Amino acid sequence: MLRLIRYLFYLALLMMLGLVGYAYLGDISVPKRQIEQTLETPTY
């Protein structure tokens, strides 16, 4: 049982390190472009 808990702990630690590495090194920036659209307001 202790071996399973140790394995799960190391797996969770590896996943956290992978997530931090992906956040810092991965290209997750949003491409930016300007959008112009006219909106019609209803008149009563």
Q: Is residue 16 part of a domain?
A: yes
Q: Is residue 39 part of a domain?
A: no
Name the residue range of residue 4's domain.
Answer: 1-25
Q: Is residue 21 part of a domain?
A: yes
Does the structure show a pLDDT above 90 at 43? no
Question: Which whole-number Å values give the CA distances from 14 to 11, 22, 23, 30, in the listed order?
Answer: 5, 12, 14, 27
Task: List, for residues 15-30, the tens digit of each pLDDT value.
Answer: 999 999 888 887 667 7
Q: Provide the number of structural domains found in the chain.
A: 1
Q: Is the dihedral of CA 19, 22, 25, 30 positive or negative?
A: negative
Q: Is residue 9 part of a domain?
A: yes
Q: Is residue 8 part of a domain?
A: yes
pTM value is 0.54
- Listed in sequence order, the DSSP H helices in the chain are 2-25
- Of 21, 25, 2, 3, nearest to 13 by C-alpha is 21
Q: Is residue 5 part of a domain?
A: yes
Find the largest Cα–Cα distance for the chain: 72
